[in-house]
Amino acid sequence: MYIDGFQPMTLLDWPGMVGCTVFFAGCNFRCPFCHNAPLVEGERPAPALTFEEFCSFLSRRQGLLDGVCVSGGEPLLHPQLPQLLETIKALGFLVKLDTNGSFPHPMRELWKFGLVDYVAMDIKNSPARYPETAGVPGLDLTPIRESVSWLLDGHVDYEFRTTVVQQFHDAASFEAIGPWIAGARRYYLQTFTPRDTVLRPGLTAWDGETMEKFAAQMRAYVPHVEVR
Ligand code: SF4
């Protein structure tokens, strides 16, 4: 097993936790604003770490890191993910899973076996604009809705988050997202940052004032909303 990308320390990915992040290549979505285009499209990148190297790293970080963020791409596409998470948990670390919500059954299975402590699920946009925002024309939202409902039931700690892009999101987006995830524990609006690795060049971020207006819209439905 290979780890396709690796960040040895992050304070940003998991509220209140110090962690490292592993990235897996491959995704079923093609979000135009995706920052991880090299992981999502094109050649499989040179592996950042072997499984053995990663385990050795973790063994040396016991007591120094709280947990491991597992990101992508879409990590739930990887058949060896359970094996990786079992190893992480056996070494005493918490696990945060980043997912686009397309695979509710594997997500529930990981939770059932005690392999996930926190889920960060993307809400790409309002249902009406979901397919274009995910870059998948005709996308069936059934599994996304199932993941949202399961997380709202509160089996595992979680957050929902939306990367906000001027070309895809406006007030109508949050008028629809709000009632959909009403009562959620946490919701983050992430300011889009243009980078060279973005799938579609030319996309732009909203200014801070507009982001705060969107956050205010969402606070009618979710008590903990932040712009980050
Ligand atoms: S933003 Fe996430 S869900 Fe979208 S293409 Fe990139 S890795 Fe996949």
Instruction: Report residue 196's pLDDT band, with 50, 70 and 90 as the boundaries.
Output: confident
pLDDT, residue 43, reads 58
Confidence label for 40 from pLDDT (cuts 50, 70 and 90): confident
Kindly report the number of other CB atoms within 10 A of residue 110's CB atom: 24
Q: Give the Å distance between the CA of 91 and the centre of ligand 1.
A: 29
Mark residue 124 as left, alpha or beta (left: phi above 0; alpha: psi -120 to 50; beta: remaining): alpha
Model confidence, pTM: 0.96
Domain 2-163: give its CATH code. Answer: 3.20.20.70
Q: What is the pLDDT of residue 68?
A: 96
CA of residue 73 to ligand 1 center, whole Å: 6
Kindly report, residue by residue over 80-110, the tens digit of the pLDDT: 999 999 999 999 999 999 999 999 999 999 9
CA pair distance 23, 80, nearest whole angstrom: 13
Q: Whose CA is nearest to atom 4 of ligand 1?
A: 31
Q: Give the C-alpha distances (Å, rounded to integers) separating 202 from 103, 173, 205, 216.
A: 30, 21, 10, 27
Distances (CA, A) of 46 to 3, 69, 225: 9, 20, 37
The Å distance, Cα 36 to ligand 1 centre, comes to 7
